[in-house]
Amino acid sequence: MFKSLFSRLVGTYFVIILVTIIVLGILLSAFFEDFIFARRAEELKREAIDLNPYVEMFAMGLLDEWHLYNYFKIADRYKNTTIWIVDEMGYIWLSYSSSPEEMEKWKEQQLTAKEFMQVIKGQTIVKEGKFDERFPIPVLTVGVPFKIDGKIRGGIFLHSPVEEIKSTTEETYKNIWLAAAISAVLSIVLLFFTSKHISKPLIEMNQISRDFAKGNFEKRVEINTKDEIGQLAINFNAMADSLENIENMRRSFVTNVSHELRSPLTSIRGYIQGVLDRTIPPDKSDKYLSIALDETKRLNKLINELLDLSQIESGQFPLNIITFDINELIRRVLISQEERITAKSIDVIVDFQEQYYYVEGDRDRIQQVLYNLIDNAIKFNPEKGTLMIKTWNYEDRIFIKVEDSGPGIPKEEIVHIWERFYQVDKSRSPKSGGTGLGLSIVKKILEEHDQDIWINSKEGEGTAFIFSLFAAN
Ligand SMILES: Nc1ncnc2c1ncn2[C@@H]1O[C@H](COP(=O)(O)OP(=O)(O)OP(=O)(O)O)[C@@H](O)[C@H]1O
Ligand SMILES: [Mg+2]
């Protein structure tokens, strides 16, 4: 059966509280009873000792019976105490009880109990039960030696009914259990709210995670505590943020890809259709077909770049780290672009601080980084612009700078250029035929190498990209 956390918390706490209160109640009552009996015994002992001088005076004829019984009465204080004055032989010489019949009953009886022997020997005794089997009900008995002139002449015994003593504790028991009941009720109310408070964020997370499963990442958990559950809620919300981000990225990625694929396809179809149905005159068909060809090249490039990106991201193709000379690689990329560079009369300045810079990295991927940066620099450079490439060494790294004298990138756009498909104001940039994937690939490759890339760009002056690689030892 499904049991909610809330009911389990309430149930467990309830049992714990109930058990604690019952155990506490029982222990308290037991301790209290012991305490009350001990106190009553003390009291009886004191009274017995206090009675000794009066009985002594009576024995010597200095006090009459009426006065003596008055002292007995005072000692009793309406607690139904039975008092015996016993002689050396164990015969009850004087007895007192609150009821007159009782008083007579004990006269001249002889005690044989071992407690009597102890008292005669000078000890004080305390006993609970039917003393010497003489009482029909249990009594608390205290016996002290009775002395005349400092010599033991018998014993003074005081018996107090246990029932009587217990009746005084009952009131206290009632109070103890009442307090227990009140605290139980209070703690149940408290634990109800605490359990609600503890389980609320968990219930909320549970509900929200169901929404996540359905692809709805909007909701967040309210965070009220700083404990583990609060931490969990913070992490849960962070996870929701990143899921939402990924989902948004995925959506915009699909939208961008479809858009990027659709527009060249539409124009290719238009040109071929025009050539076929002769809307484009035959003498111009070559020109339009070559535009269509360019578009197919662009599509090809786009698809290759997308494949590269997904390959890097999937982690299926781990980096093939080798040691190579970065200066050599730069030269190769520049040579491969020679045609475009001369076509635009770009002035290329190469500044290698040392002839060889051996670095560690995946050569093919770093070649792609260089290609993408140099491609941008050529593309965005004006006619007769300059392309400067510099390499230098600092501590354990080699730094590579690719700088152009192009239009630069507006400050507010710089944060976005690493995003996929992002292109700075398409209408302003020269018709590059690009797709906006080049820099995101650069960033991904360098991230995989645990390296950084910085950008330094001023509108109207040019752009410089600087990235680092580990120098080979
Ligand atoms: N050297 C640069 N000078 C000026 N703007 C640049 C430079 N490099 C990049 N940008 C801006 O950043 C945008 C993104 O660059 P990125 O290389 O990712 O895409 P792209 O060059 O347009 O397309 P692709 O590289 O996929 O062919 C470019 O469209 C451009 O607006
Ligand atoms: Mg590019």
Q: What's the pLDDT score for residue 167? A: 82
Does residue 63 sit in the same domain as residue 117? yes
Q: What is the dihedral of CA 352, 354, 356, 358, to 10 degrees?
A: -90
Radius of gyration of the chain (CA): 53
Contacts of 154 (CB under 8 A, 6+ apart): 85, 86, 87, 88, 93, 120, 145, 146
DSSP 379-432: HHSPTT-EEEEEEEEETTEEEEEEEE-S----HHHHTTTTSTT--STTTTS---
284 assigned to some structural domain: yes
Nearest atom (ligand 1) to Cα of 377 = 1
Residues 266 and 361 in one domain: no
Element (H, E) at 459: none
Residue recorded with tokens 């009426």: 66
Of 376, 403, 409, 457, the one to substitute when testing ligand 1's pocket (max ligand atoms within 8 A of C-beta) is 376
Which regions in the chain score pLDDT beneath 50? 1
Q: Is the pTM of this model over 0.75?
A: no
Same domain membership, residue 163 and residue 45? yes
Whether the Cβ atoms of residue 471 and residue 392 lie closer than 8 Å to each other: no
Cα–Cα distance measured from residue 326 to residue 333, given in angstroms and rounded to the nearest whole number: 11
399 in a structural domain: yes
Q: Please answer whether residues 180 and 24 qualify as being in contact, where contact means their C-beta atoms are separated by less than 8 angstroms.
A: yes
* Residue 1 confidence (pLDDT): 46
- State the distance from the centre of ligand 1 to the C-alpha of 419, rounded, in angstroms: 11
Cβ neighbors of 94 (< 8 A, separation 6 or more) are: 55, 58, 68, 83, 84, 85
Q: Which residue has the least CA distance to atom 29 on ligand 1?
A: 423
Assigned domain for 465 exists: yes
Q: Which of 297, 312, 327 is the last residue of a domain?
A: 312
The last residue of one of the domains, among 136, 167, 198, is 167
Residue 349 and residue 428 in one domain: yes
Assess whether 325 and 307 both reside in one domain: no
- Quick: pLDDT tens for 115-153: 888 999 999 999 988 887 778 889 999 999 999 988 999
Q: Is residue 143 part of a domain?
A: yes
DSSP states of 319-388: --EEEEEHHHHHHHHHHHTHHHHHHTTPEEEEEESSS--EEEEEHHHHHHHHHHHHHHHHHHSPTT-EEE
What CATH number is given to the structural domain containing 361? Answer: 3.30.565.10
Q: In terms of domains, do 280 and 348 share one? A: no
Tokens of 423: 């292109």
The answer to whether 51 touches 96, Cβ cutoff 8 Å, is: no
* Pair (302, 385) in one structural domain: no
Q: Which amino acid is at 335?
A: I
In a shared domain, residues 16 and 145: yes
Which CATH number does the domain housing residue 238 bear?
1.10.287.130
The pLDDT of residue 154:
92
Inside any domain, residue 56: yes
Helix and strand numbers, DSSP H then E, in the chain: 12, 12
Ligand 1: residues with CB < 6 A are: 305, 372, 376-377, 380, 404, 406-407, 409, 417, 422-424, 429, 432, 434-440, 463
Please indicate, yes or no, whether residues 463 and 409 belong to a single structural domain of this protein.
Answer: yes
State the Cα–Cα distance between residues 378 and 346, nearest whole angstrom: 8
Alpha helices in 214-281 (DSSP H): 228-276
Residues 243 and 326 in one domain: no
Same domain, 235 and 294: yes
Please name the amino acid found at residue 51: L
Q: Checking DSSP bridges between strand 462-471 and strand 358-362, what pairing results, if any?
A: antiparallel
Q: Is 345 left (phi over 0), alpha (psi -120 to 50) or beta?
A: left
As a whole number of angstroms, the distance between CA 369 and CA 400 comes to: 11
In a domain, 183, yes or no: no
For residue 31, give the CATH number of its domain: 3.30.450.20
Q: Closest ligand 1 atom to the C-alpha of 440?
A: 18
**Residues 330 and 456 placed together within one structural domain of the fold:** yes
Ligand 1: which residue has its CA nearest to atom 17? 438
Tell me which of 413, 417, 442 to substitute to probe ligand 1's pocket, judged by most ligand atoms within 8 Å of the beta carbon: 417
Domain range spanning residue 274? 228-312
- In Å, how far from its chain's centre is CA 132? 68
Indicate whether 205 belongs to any domain.
no
Q: CA 342: distance to chain centroid?
A: 64
Residue 90: which H helix or E strand, with range? Answer: none
Of 312, 333, 362, which closes a domain?
Answer: 312
Total tally of structural domains belonging to the chain:
3
Considering the domain boundaries, does residue 184 fall inside one? no
